[in-house]
């Protein structure tokens, strides 16, 4: 059934989104082990909680990447503009664009011919972003796209033959396993033309305690962020999760670089989601998210496996984080 026939039948686009949300939630919670997809964290409340996480003193990632974009803006811009051709700057998972705003402002104010196309699954955050950027950078052309990365990226290819520069920041690639990251980058390469650029953020391996603390902050904001997904299921899918019967658990393996978060069921319980029941045993876990950490050599190998050439590495002063420019080959 195509979208038009669905809409003609009286099912609206928001209904389709809710139906997909419910389908994927129920699928994940009936697997063994149970899991929920991290892309569903970001409703309005989730957006707000994530902003609070980024402000936590333990959460070093934002500050490290902000340093790169604020102190090395001209270098980043020079790397992007070396060909002198106009381009579309497409940001995957744009969020509030706090870091990329430095680059956007620099490019706009130096008269570079480009459009900014932020892509995010959260229409709410895109609306806020567009209003803020149009106010702060009047010269900037902003074309927001709400939806899944590759669906929206395919739409950008319909805009003509302008080259594209993709931003994928915030260590979002770390929310995938090694196999998923390779598949993602290969698919991303399929959407690009030779010579298109990708600037991608990687959190680097470092002291294990520093990493673990970043995802298990003393104020408990990360725990609230994870539990908010259960609240969202209650709000949108007629769920009856009792949040007091679940707790956040974080782990980090310094050998593999996998930092994983879980919700743990504190009792033997049954939860209803839209009239369908899911059983949780006491101490059973829901796998929520991985935040994978890399070495520079591992990022180069990922580029080469995926059809890219590593062009330049931009690291913060501590060497904790890297924004790396890849060229599609």
CA neighbor of 202 nearest in space, from 243, 177, 170, 233: 170
The CATH code of domain 60-204+294-328 reads 3.40.50.150
CA 118 to chain centre: 12
What would the DSSP string read from start to end of 53-89?
A: HHTSTT-HHHHHHHHHHHHSHHHHHHHHSTT---EEE
Write the CA distances from 285 to 30, 185, 189, 250, 268, integer angstroms. 12, 29, 35, 11, 12
Look at residue 195 and give its three-state secondary structure: coil
Tokens of 94: 């744009």
Q: Which of 314, 45, 59, 71 is CA-nearest to residue 197?
A: 314
- Length of the chain in residues, anyone? 329
Residue whose C-alpha is closest to residue 89's, from 139, 132, 142, 136: 142
Give 87's contacts (C-beta < 8 A, 6+ positions apart): 80, 113, 114, 162, 163, 164, 165
- Each residue's pLDDT expressed in tens, for the chain with a length of 329 residues: 333 333 344 444 556 667 889 999 999 999 999 999 998 998 889 989 998 998 999 999 999 999 999 999 999 999 999 889 999 999 999 988 989 999 999 999 999 999 999 999 888 889 999 999 999 999 999 999 999 999 999 998 888 789 999 999 999 999 999 999 999 999 999 999 999 999 999 999 999 999 999 999 999 999 999 999 999 999 999 999 999 999 999 999 999 999 999 999 999 999 999 999 999 999 999 999 999 999 999 999 999 999 999 999 999 999 999 999 999 99
């Amino acid at each position: 059934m195509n979208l038009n026939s669905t809409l003609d039948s009286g099912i609206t686009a928001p209904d389709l989104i809710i139906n997909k949300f419910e389908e994927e939630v129920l699928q994940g919670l009936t697997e063994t082990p149970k899991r929920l997809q991290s892309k569903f964290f970001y409703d309005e409340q989730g957006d707000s909680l994530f902003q609070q996480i980024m402000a936590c003193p333990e959460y070093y990632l934002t500050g490290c990447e902000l340093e790169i974009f604020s102190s090395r803006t001209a270098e980043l811009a020079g790397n992007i503009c070396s060909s002198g051709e106009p381009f579309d700057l497409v940001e995957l998972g744009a969020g509030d664009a706090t870091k990329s705003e430095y680059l956007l402002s620099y490019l706009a104010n130096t008269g570079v011919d480009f459009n900014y196309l932020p892509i995010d699954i959260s229409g709410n955050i895109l609306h806020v972003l567009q209003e803020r950027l149009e106010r702060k950078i009047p010269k900037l052309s902003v074309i927001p796209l709400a939806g899944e990365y590759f669906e929206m990226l395919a739409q950008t290819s319909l805009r003509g033959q302008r080259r594209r520069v993709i931003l994928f920041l915030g260590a979002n690639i770390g929310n995938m396993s090694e196999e998923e990251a390779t598949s993602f980058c290969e698919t991303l390469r399929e959407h690009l033309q030779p010579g298109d650029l990708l600037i991608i953020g990687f959190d680097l391996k470092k002291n294990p305690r520093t990493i673990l603390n970043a995802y298990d902050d003393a104020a408990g904001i990360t725990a609230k962020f994870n539990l908010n997904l259960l609240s969202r299921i209650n709000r949108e899918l007629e769920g009856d999760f009792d949040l007091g019967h679940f707790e956040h658990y974080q782990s980090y393996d310094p050998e593999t670089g996998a930092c994983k978060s879980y919700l743990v069921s504190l009792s033997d319980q049954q939860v209803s989601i839209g009239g369908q029941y899911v059983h949780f045993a006491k101490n059973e876990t829901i796998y929520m998210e991985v935040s994978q950490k890399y070495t520079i050599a591992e990022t180069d190998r990922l580029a080469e496996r995926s059809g890219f050439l590593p062009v330049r590495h931009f690291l913060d002063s501590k060497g904790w984080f890297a924004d790396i420019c890849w060229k599609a080959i």
